[in-house]
């Protein structure tokens, strides 16, 4: 058994409300690169990236419930035999994550989504389409994923992003304003006033800071 559960990707909070947002949240603290104005270049500071090597993908997939333990283990074992393919898959994952992030930020800022990012998402969706087949289920037919791709976590993330972008109320998409956070989430609260990714971390920090400011004034 390959130890996947101790990885940071398998322990992170899942607060996005959509699988694709939880995937974007495998890193935080996005900042615009100096000189990268307008061209969508972002780099990442202050928060550890939870996607460090390929095994973080099945670890995260199992954590979210997307993969069973057996499926995650099978991917982890296959990655050890297909090292190059695994490394390429991780690079694609990081690129897909950046694209979804920038599309979301454009939506939040009521700007047009960068076409290069939309293209990247569409390329991943095409790969995902090729990986779907119709199988017979107990009552109806069901969509099944062909199980042997190292990149199967990416298929589902791309689908999740497409589903969110086509069906959700995107005016509810938020970016947490916490220091070096920038996690994304869908605000599904009744009054649409959820501000923080998580009350226990960013929300509390802000509360403590407000309290200190009051004390010192």
Q: How far is the CB of 17 from Zn ion (least distance, A)?
A: 14
- x/- letters, 184..213, toward Zn ion (CB under 5 A): -------------x----x-----------
Pure H helices in the chain = 19-24, 56-64, 69-81, 83-108, 115-130, 152-167, 204-216
Distance CA 93, CA 151 (A): 8
Size of the site for Zn ion (CB under 5 A): 6
Residue among 49 and 71 whose Cβ is closer to Zn ion: 49
With contact defined as beta carbons under 8 Å apart, do 84 and 150 qualify?
Answer: no
Q: Give the single-character DSSP code of 200.
A: I
181 binds Zn ion, rule: CB under 5 A: yes
Q: Which of residues 164, 178, 185, 194 is near Zn ion by CB under 5 A? A: 178
Q: Which of residues 90, 99, 100, 176 is near Zn ion by CB under 5 A? A: 176
Of the ranges 106-114, 117-125, 168-176, 185-193, which one interacts with Zn ion (CB under 5 A)? 168-176
With contact defined as beta carbons under 8 Å apart, do 131 and 152 qualify?
Answer: yes
Q: How far from the centroid of its chain's Cα atoms is residue 208's Cα?
A: 29
Contact set with Zn ion (CB under 5 A): 176, 178, 181, 183, 197, 202
């Amino acid at each position: 058994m390959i130890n996947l559960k101790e990885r940071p990707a398998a322990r992170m909070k899942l607060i996005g409300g959509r699988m694709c947002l939880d995937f974007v949240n495998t890193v935080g603290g996005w900042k615009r690169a100096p000189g990268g104005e307008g061209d969508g270049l972002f780099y990442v500071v202050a928060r550890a990236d939870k996607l460090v090597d390929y095994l973080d993908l099945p670890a995260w997939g199992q954590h979210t419930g997307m993969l069973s333990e057996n499926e995650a283990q099978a991917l982890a074992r296959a990655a050890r035999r297909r090292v190059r393919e695994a490394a390429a898959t991780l690079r694609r994952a990081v690129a897909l994550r950046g694209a979804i992030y920038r599309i979301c930020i454009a939506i939040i800022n009521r700007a047009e989504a960068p076409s290069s990012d939309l293209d990247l998402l569409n390329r991943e969706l095409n790969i995902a389409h090729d990986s779907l087949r119709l199988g017979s289920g107990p009552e109806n037919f069901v969509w099944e994923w062909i199980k042997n791709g190292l990149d199967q976590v990416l298929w589902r993330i791309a689908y999740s992003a497409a589903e969110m972008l086509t069906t959700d109320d995107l005016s509810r998409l938020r970016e947490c304003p916490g220091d070096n956070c920038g996690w994304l989430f869908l605000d599904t609260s009744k009054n649409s006033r959820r501000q923080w990714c998580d009350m226990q971390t960013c929300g509390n920090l802000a509360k403590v800071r407000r309290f200190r400011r009051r004390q010192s004034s």
